[in-house]
Amino acid sequence: MPKVEVVAITLNCEQVRLRFGIEGFPLASASRYDFSHSPTAGSGRSVSRPSLSGRIRRWIKRVPLVKRCVKIWRTWQHEIAHIAAAARQVQTLDGVIVPGGGALDEFWGGPWGHPWSLLKWSVVSRIYRVPFFVVSVGKCSLKRPLSRWFVRIALKLATYRSYRDPDSKEGVQALIDTARDPVLPDLAFSYPAPVVRKLPVVEPGNRPLLIGVSPIAYLDPRVWPIKDERRYRAYIRQFAELVKWLLNEGHRLLFFATDSPDVATITDVLGAMGDTPKQPDAIRTLLGPIEQNIDNHLEEIGQTDLTIASRLHGVILSHLVATPVLAISYDPKVDAQMRIAKQTDYCLNIDDLRLDRFVERFEALKGTRLQEARHLLSDALLFRQQLDWQYDHILGLRHRAVNEALPESRKTAVAINL
């Protein structure tokens, strides 16, 4: 669709501009705890922010109640200004798309993070009669009544809704009627994998394997909303024991991260391993998410024999390139993906991570890895076809007609990056 101009409604306009070369618009009016962003960098836009004189500001700081009232007043001034700017942006569009990921979630930022953002953009889209598509999204944590109310209204206003797994659809059923909403794969499965695996007919002997390793910053006080230093350090020690066992068995390791906080976790795991004897090329580490090239990243993962991963997209991207996964699950969404892939036998709970259980499951997966890889390859091709159907359904006919009628510069789609 060469005439389509994509605008990213995003938490980081600068990254979008640098990595993808497209225009960005700030998702939210201001950063909140665990929901931070750089709203105007690279976007060429700004949301007006009222200022107070230095003398008044110093006086306010001495009166806590006044300080709080002024903070609330200014927050809503910024919010109203952002809503007005969002309305002007939506009027230039032909569609607003919320694509995939854990969009239905309060874990990062609470009700005023993702839930409020969804409500805001859905209402503005409805006012200006711009279609609002919620596409292959996942439901994560929505425990607070305010979060659930925000999401309920946003989903009711959507032109189209689909979910990436049955668990998400079932969870949303408590908010709205989802009977007619389809379940379709995570959108990552439509990414053109840079390598098609050529699987041997028979396993070539009992050779050492190349193992992808992707730990997660679970409960890390530096980045995780729930902070538990003791449990995080226990996880690092246990994970380091697993890695040392793999090295002692002669396997080579490829560490990789699919989210920025996990880069520090990889460093922590390597540090906890101590002076484990290893060959010079026994361990490699890929660049982190900010620096990595996605195609190269997938190509490297595609060369591994097995992957040990915790974060959902560490699992999904491995499945995309037909690499079997031994998942160390920290969240029900990881369990859901392993069920979709029919790999529940190879899914361990992160809070019950024991070396003996890991070894037993690893050896079982090692013995069936070629069979599992063929199954994953077949699934990946099927998932791509299902997602192609979804793209045609929500965008194809309508936007082909729009493209023929509109000038080259008209914006015809917008992606919300939650």
Provide the CATH number for the domain around residue 71: 3.40.50
Query: For 208-232, what is each residue's pLDDT tens digit?
Result: 899 999 999 999 999 998 999 999 9
Do 169 and 237 belong to one domain?
no
Do 85 and 50 belong to one domain?
yes
Do 145 and 265 belong to one domain?
no
In a domain, 197, yes or no: no
Name which of 303, 299, 318 is nearest 210 in CA terms: 303
In a domain, 54, yes or no: yes
Do 295 and 251 belong to one domain?
yes
Q: Give the domain extent around 398.
A: 6-190+381-417
In a domain, 233, yes or no: yes
Please tell me the predicted confidence (pLDDT) of residue 293. Answer: 84
Residue 347 near residue 334, CB atoms below 8 Å: yes
Q: Which amino acid type is present at position 194?
A: P
Strands (E), 93-242: 96-99, 132-137, 160-163, 210-214
- What is the gyration radius of the CA atoms in the chain, in angstroms? 23
Please tell me the predicted confidence (pLDDT) of residue 388. Answer: 93
Structure-token pair, residue 186: 């995570």
**Neighbouring C-beta atoms of residue 244, cutoff 10 Å:** 17
> What stretch of H or E contains 40?
none
Q: Domain count for the chain, please give it.
A: 2
Please tell me the predicted confidence (pLDDT) of residue 23. Answer: 86
Do 340 and 266 belong to one domain?
yes
Please tell me the predicted confidence (pLDDT) of residue 190. Answer: 92
Residue 133 near residue 97, CB atoms below 8 Å: yes
Do 56 and 125 belong to one domain?
yes
Do 276 and 400 belong to one domain?
no
Do 169 and 316 belong to one domain?
no
Do 59 and 12 belong to one domain?
yes
Burial-class residue 318 by CB neighbours within 10 Å (0-12, 13-18, 19+).
buried
DSSP state of 286: P
Please tell me the predicted confidence (pLDDT) of residue 35. Answer: 66
> What stretch of H or E contains 64?
helix 64-90
Q: What is the pLDDT along the chain (418 residues), one digit of tens a residue?
A: 778 889 999 988 888 888 888 889 999 887 665 666 554 443 334 444 445 566 666 655 666 665 566 566 677 788 899 999 999 999 999 999 999 888 899 988 889 888 999 999 999 999 999 999 999 999 998 999 999 999 999 999 999 999 999 999 999 999 999 999 999 999 999 998 765 555 665 566 677 899 999 999 999 999 998 999 999 999 999 999 999 999 999 999 999 999 999 999 999 999 999 876 567 789 999 988 777 888 888 999 999 999 999 999 999 999 999 999 999 999 999 999 999 999 999 999 999 999 999 999 999 999 999 999 999 999 999 999 999 999 999 876 455 444 554 445 455 555 554 4
Do 304 and 370 belong to one domain?
yes
Per-residue H/E/C for 137-165: ECECCCCCHHHHHHHHHHHHCCCEEEECC
Name which of 360, 323, 356, 357 is nearest 212 in CA terms: 323
Name which of 142, 160, 138 is nearest 150 in CA terms: 142
Strands (E), 226-305: 252-255, 283-285
- We report the CATH number of the domain holding residue 358 as 3.40.50.2000
In a domain, 195, yes or no: no
In the chain, pLDDT over 70 holds for what percent of residues? 80
Do 146 and 257 belong to one domain?
no
Please tell me the predicted confidence (pLDDT) of residue 179. Answer: 95
Do 223 and 357 belong to one domain?
yes
Whole-model pTM: value is 0.83
